[in-house]
Structure formats: C-alpha cells, structure tokens
C-alpha cells in the first residue's frame, strides 16, 4: 500500500489562521514542512481518507488528483476531516463528464450531512449517477474495490460514532487511527486479530498529554505502540506514523522528527509518501 499525506495539522491548521503565537509566527517565516493543512491522506491511486475544507487547495497546489479518486472514507464529521459542500461538486452542474460515481463512506452523521447538503446545492435529479453515500457500521467489514475496510469506534466525540479504520489489501494491513484518544478495550480486543504493517496515530498534543479530550500526544502514542508490540499485533518492522498536530505545542518538523524517531515513530508532514 502507498500513503500520501496531504494534511497533517489539527483542526485549526498550522500556522493557525488568526494566531499570533510564537510558533505560528516562526512557522509563517520558515514555511516548508512546518506548514500543515487539514487532514487528508491518499491510499494508493483511487482512495482518500478524509476530505477537509483544504481539499480544494490540496487539489490545486499539493498534487491531489481528485479526477482519479473514486472512494472517500470519512472518519467523522468534524470540519477538518469532512467538507460536504465540496464533495457534492462531483455532480453537475459543478463536476461535468465524470463517468463513475464518487463513493463516500462514513458514519450516519456524515451521510445525514451529505443528504442535507444535496438539497442545498444540487438539484435532486440524477445525483445517484455521480454520488453514492454509504453509511458504515462499526466492527463490520466492507469490500471496497478489492480493499477490506472495517470501521471501529474512535474515542473522540461522544456526539457521533467517530471511526478509525482497519484496511487490508494484498496481504498488508493498515490501522488508520485518528482522531482518537487511547482506544477502548472493545477496540483493543478487535485489534488483537490483526498484524499491522502500518499504524497512523493521533498526535494532536505533540509531546504533551492530558490537555485535549479525544486526542493523544507522544506519551499516549508510546503506550499504544507498546501494547501493540506486547500483544504481537505489531512488530519492530511496523511503521508507526504520528499526525494531526496542534500549533501551540511547537510541531516544528526539525524538532519533532528526532524526538519521535527515538521512540520508534515517524513524524508526518504535508507531502510525505510512504509505502509498505
Ligand atoms: Zn481532527
Ligand atoms: Zn499559534
Ligand atoms: Zn475530530
């Protein structure tokens, strides 16, 4: 599997839009790998995980080829992961000449919001030729273009069933694990049946912990990795990737890369490619 990270910032982006903190000021000057848009990751050629309000800019300036995308998995309805209005532009009068529908998968909050937005910006005729919405249930495995996808409940926002995803393809297994705090015991029990080649984790709090509910930081990521190694569901060869960084915990690429590496993690940045 190949992953490409289009966005590695938390909900506000890095630098945060109106922020004048010391880190945002520094990051505006430094640019490069320190600039972090909102979350979206491409899996191989045709699948995206999450599509935020930065999706359009990512398609213009960061190489996201939306014409090639046929399946989009949404983790949850927070706006840094899900921007329904632009997703609906796959249908006319905005998206013309597309020959296959764009399939969008998520929890019931996500598909409810998509259905509500259809009435706002599209005529209801023929929408299904261009857009297909799929409400997924936790712990159920779905076949999606040769990929086996299982949504699991994240520990994130009790107002909806936010998902993390187990994705299996060609003998490889990915855990796409954010946004989430430390996983519930029910999720740990389910994960016990897998061997993961790659694990992507929430590192909103960078090297802090216990500040934001529903998220993790490096100390929590270390506990997740240890438990996965102890339970033989990951090995030293498993890639552990940290992403979704909050601006005020100093997520400078040069600072966090060695810090995370020492603990067995890779610090994601916008534009990072991985294969496993
Ligand atoms: Zn988020
Ligand atoms: Zn800031
Ligand atoms: Zn969220």
For 134, the 3-state DSSP assignment is strand
The pLDDT value recorded for residue 125 is 73
CA of 66 to the centre of ligand 3 (A): 23
pTM equals 0.97
CA 123 – ligand 3 centroid, Å: 30
Who contacts 112 (Cβ-Cβ below 8 Å, separation ≥6)? none
For 163, the 3-state DSSP assignment is strand
Q: Which two tokens stand for residue 129?
A: 């030729």
Contact status, residue 81 vs residue 39, Cβ threshold 8 Å: yes
What is the C-alpha to C-alpha distance for residues 165 and 180, in angstroms, rounded to an integer? 11
User: Is the preceding peptide bond at 96 cis, omega within 30 degrees of 0?
Assistant: no
5 band by pLDDT with thresholds 50, 70 and 90: very high
Per-residue pLDDT band at 59 (split at 50, 70, 90): very high
| pLDDT beyond 90 at 171 | yes
Q: Which long-range contacts (CB under 8 A, 24 or more apart) does 120-126 make?
A: 120/85, 121/85, 121/88, 121/89, 122/88, 122/91, 126/91, 126/92
- Report pLDDT for 149: 98
User: Binning pLDDT at 50, 70 and 90, where does residue 21 land?
Assistant: very high
pLDDT tens per residue across span 111-166: 999 999 988 888 767 788 899 999 999 999 999 999 999 999 999 999 999 999 99
The pLDDT assigned to 196 comes to: 98
Ligand sitting nearest the alpha carbon of 39:
1
Note the pLDDT of residue 162: 98
125 Cα–ligand 3 center, Å: 32
* Closest residue by Cα to residue 224 from 233, 237, 214: 233
pLDDT, tens only, 48-57: 999 999 999 9
Distance from residue 273's CA to the centre of ligand 3 (Å)? 23
- Report CA(13)–ligand 2 centroid distance (Å): 9
Q: What spacing in Å lies between the alpha carbon of 41 and ligand 1's midpoint?
A: 13
User: What residue has token string 């915990």?
Assistant: 249
CA 249 to ligand 2 centroid distance, Å: 9
CA 226 vs CA 63, 76, 138, 182, 235: distances in Å? 35, 27, 25, 12, 10
Greatest extent of the chain over all pairs of C-alpha atoms, in Å: 55
Report whether the peptide linkage leading into residue 15 is cis, meaning its omega lies within 30 degrees of zero. Answer: yes
CA of 183 to the centre of ligand 3 (A): 15
270 C-alpha to center of ligand 3: Å? 18
Query: What average pLDDT does the segment 238-265 reach?
Result: 98
Give CA 63 to chain center in angstroms: 17
The residue among 228 and 123 whose pLDDT is bigger is 228
Distance 153 CA to ligand 3 centre (A): 13
Ligand 2 ion: Cβ-proximal residues, 5 Å cutoff: 16, 19, 21, 24, 247
Whether the Cβ atoms of residue 74 and residue 108 lie closer than 8 Å to each other: no
Q: Calculate mean pLDDT across residues 16-34.
A: 98
């Amino acid at each position: 599997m190949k992953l490409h990270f289009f966005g590695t910032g938390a909900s506000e982006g890095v630098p945060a839009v109106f922020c004048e903190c010391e880190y945002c000021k520094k990051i505006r000057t430094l640019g490069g790998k320190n600039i972090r848009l909102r979350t979206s990751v491409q899996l191989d050629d045709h699948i995206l995980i999450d599509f935020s309000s930065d999706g359009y800019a990512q398609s213009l300036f960061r190489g996201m080829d939306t014409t090639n995308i046929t399946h989009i998995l949404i983790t949850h309805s927070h706006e840094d992961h899900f921007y329904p209005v632009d997703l609906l532009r796959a249908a006319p009068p905005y998206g013309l000449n597309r020959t296959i529908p764009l399939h969008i998968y998520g929890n019931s909050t996500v598909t409810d919001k998509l259905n509500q937005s259809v009435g706002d910006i599209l005529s209801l005729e023929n929408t299904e030729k261009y857009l297909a919405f799929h409400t997924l249930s936790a712990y159920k495995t779905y076949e999606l273009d040769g990929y086996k996808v299982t949504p699991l409940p994240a520990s994130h926002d009790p107002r909806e069933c936010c998902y993390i995803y187990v994705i299996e393809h060609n003998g490889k297994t990915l855990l796409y694990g954010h946004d989430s705090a430390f996983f519930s015991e029910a999720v740990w029990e389910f994960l016990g049946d897998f061997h993961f080649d790659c694990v992507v984790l929430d590192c909103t709090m960078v090297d802090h912990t216990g500040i934001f509910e529903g998220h993790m930081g490096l100390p929590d990521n270390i506990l997740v990795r240890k438990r996965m190694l102890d339970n033989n569901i990951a090995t030293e060869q498993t890639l552990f990737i940290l992403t979704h960084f909050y601006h005020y915990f100093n997520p400078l690429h040069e600072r966090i890369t060695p810090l995370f590496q020492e603990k067995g993690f890779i610090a994601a940045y916008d534009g990072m490619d991985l294969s496993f």
